[in-house]
Structure 1
Amino acid sequence: MNIARLKSVDLHWREDGDPAGVPVVFGNSLGTDLRLWDKIIPLLPASGLRLIRFDKRGHGLSSCPKPPYSMEALCEDAEELLQQIGITSCIFVGLSIGGCIGQLLASRRPDLVKGLVLSNSAAKMGTTQMWEERIERIHTGGMESIADAVLQRWFGDAFRRTDEAILWRNMMTRTPADGYTGCSAALAASDLTASTSKLTLPVLGIGGEYDLASPPDIVRATTQLIPGSRYVEIADAGHLPCVEHPQDYAGHLMTFLKEDLHVGTL
């Protein structure tokens, strides 16, 4: 385990793969930690890729500053982390709010982000009213009060009946309420449409057929804001297709790295 002592937060991060490889940075969804990518990492090449994961503020083993947060602050956390660990160019794979962080980081630092995967993410996720209502519900009833509704958005019916779904429910409910509501406030206030539409880097959009949190149509629409981008959809998957269908997910990621970014001899 590693901890990066940044200006306003301490971020937990992990490195796998090849220390000399092309950096690929993974950003997690709301209510999850870096274990979101546990099924994907073993499916990627052991050489040629330096795989970086981190817990955003208020999640996992990172510190939890007092909310609310802003998307700019979350982006600055990621930027400062990469600077501290010596990454000057990377491919950013962001899921949900992780994809929002990736969009903003790519806009602010085109020199740093050379390729972007927008997984189950959009330029504008949900409405301000929706996020404010969710924040209020958590303030009133705690994380448990939203757990079942969130799992319906995360996974398809079949996966929700598995024992593994219990683990993901536990991960979400054990997320600090301040961390979850802080990031929810960032989503409520954020609309990245203008800046994302100006991006010019290679982009892959990934949607899930049954995603109720970021429906495929809005993921596709955000992807299409960026010239030359492409979109794929994973069948029978909800908001976290890297968990439900890791083989398919890793396959799309590898195709993007090889064909769009021409990464080494992968």
Structure 2
Amino acid sequence: MELIEVADAVQLGVERMGVGPPVLLIGGLGMPSQIWELSGLTAALVDAGFSVIAYNTRGVAPSTATEPPYSVDKLASDAEHLLEACGITEALVVGYSLGCYTAQCLVRRRPDMVTGAVFLAGLQPSPIGALVGQMELDLIGRLGEIPAQVRVFEQLMTTLSPAMLQDPETVSIWRQLLADGDSLWSDRKGLHGQLAASFEWIMNEEPHPEHLAQISAPVLVLAFEHDVFFPPRTSRETAQQIPNSQFKQIDGAAHGGLFSNETNVVETIAQFCADQRHRLDGGGSRYASP
């Protein structure tokens, strides 16, 4: 992983793989770029002839953790400057959860730079997301942190599908994995900052219809059947406000469907990118393998 400076005193940890038209992967809250590899998406895109840029957002180790609060616009600015630092003028963008907010904001900032986007499990927030965000920020305000037991329980209940939650062995494995969550952050400031950015986005009642209507690039909206943060029904309705969009529900999975090995979400994303490849070939990208 290399460190690339995107703003004054802000460096992002970046993984670059493959040669070809670029795809930028923007992870969710606290999500290290290695998750994209574990999900199989990085390999699928590289095998399909794309170059992949995956990075740890501001606050996730080893990226810089600046003072909170952050904003989604600030995170989108980081993504924009990262593409510029890599010499990329046009790219496909895949955003997951909080990264979906960032992808939407990046499209607003630089519509010329985003030739197509996948909004994965993050288009239309639910009231549950607002409740959880308020709870987490209140705990940080009172205790200076989110107690590990609270964090692990919350993530188990929202990440895993109902079928997985009913399997004791699966729950035990995921409990152990999630227990290491604190080590993902460069500093507790990163967690606080990203939570604040996410909560501000929801409280501002994003996404606004007028912003969605201005998106001209092709968009694939994906929602997991059992996602309490971004339910399929409301995401489907919101997707209809994007002129050149398609919607697909991924059955059988909850919010963690990207990396729980329950779905064909990787194949679906890779196929969308392949379908949009003509928009990038020879279209101004100067990316080459590092």
Q: Same fold (TM over 0.5)?
A: yes
Q: 1:173 maps to which residue?
A: 182
Q: What is the CA–CA distance in structure 2 between the aligned matches of 1:247 and 1:154, rounded to whole Å?
A: 14
Q: 1:214 maps to which residue?
A: 230
Letter in 2 for 1:100: Y
State yes or no: 1:233 paired with 2:237.
no
Q: 1:7 maps to which residue?
A: 7
Encode CA deviations 1:119-154: one digit per residue, 9 max, x unaligned.
001255656564232111234253513221122111
What is the deviation of 1:87?
0.9
Q: Which moved more, 1:223-232 or 1:77-86?
A: 223-232
Q: 1:142 maps to which residue?
A: 146
Q: 1:69 maps to which residue?
A: 70
- Contact (CA 8 Å) 1:94, 1:117: kept in 2 or not? yes
Q: What is the CA–CA distance in structure 2 between the aligned matches of 1:82 and 1:45, rounded to whole Å?
A: 18
Please give the secondary structure, in 1, of the residue aligned with 2:47.
coil
Q: 2:218 maps to which residue?
A: 202
Q: 1:133 maps to which residue?
A: 135
Q: What is the CA–CA distance in structure 2 between the aligned matches of 1:236 and 1:247, rounded to whole Å?
A: 7
Change (3 A) 1:225 1:60: farther
RMSD over aligned Cα, in angstroms?
Answer: 2.4
Count of matched residue positions in the alignment of Structure 1 and Structure 2: 263
Q: 1:192 aligns with which of 183, 202, 207?
A: 207
State yes or no: 1:22 paired with 2:21.
yes
What is the deviation of 1:75?
0.6
Q: What is the CA–CA distance in structure 1 between the aligned matches of 2:132 and 2:263, rounded to whole Å?
A: 33
What is the deviation of 1:117?
0.2
Letter in 2 for 1:213: F
Q: Which moved more, 1:159-168 or 1:85-94?
A: 159-168
What is the deviation of 1:66?
1.1
State yes or no: 1:248 paired with 2:264.
yes
Q: What is the CA–CA distance in structure 2 between the aligned matches of 1:88 and 1:246, rounded to whole Å?
A: 35
- Contact (CA 8 Å) 1:11, 1:63: kept in 2 or not? yes
Q: 1:151 aligns with which of 132, 148, 156?
A: 156
Quick one: percent identity of the two aligned structures?
Answer: 26
- Flag the structure with more relative contact order, 1 or 2, with Cα contacts below 8 A and sequence separation at least 6: 2
Letter in 2 for 1:101: T
Q: Which moved more, 1:88-97 or 1:227-236?
A: 227-236
Letter in 1 for 2:77: E
Encode CA deviations 1:174-214: one digit per residue, 9 max, x unaligned.
34332122112112222232322321110001111111222
- Contact (CA 8 Å) 1:57, 1:63: kept in 2 or not? yes
TM-score normalised over the length of structure 2: 0.82
Q: Which moved more, 1:129-138 or 1:192-201?
A: 129-138
Change (3 A) 1:125 1:52: farther
Q: What is the CA–CA distance in structure 2 between the aligned matches of 1:110 and 1:147, rounded to whole Å?
A: 38
Letter in 1 for 2:5: R
Q: Which moved more, 1:212-221 or 1:114-123?
A: 212-221
Change (3 A) 1:83 1:35: same
Encode CA deviations 1:215-250: one digit per residue, 9 max, x unaligned.
222322332220131111212111122212376112
Larger radius of gyration: 2
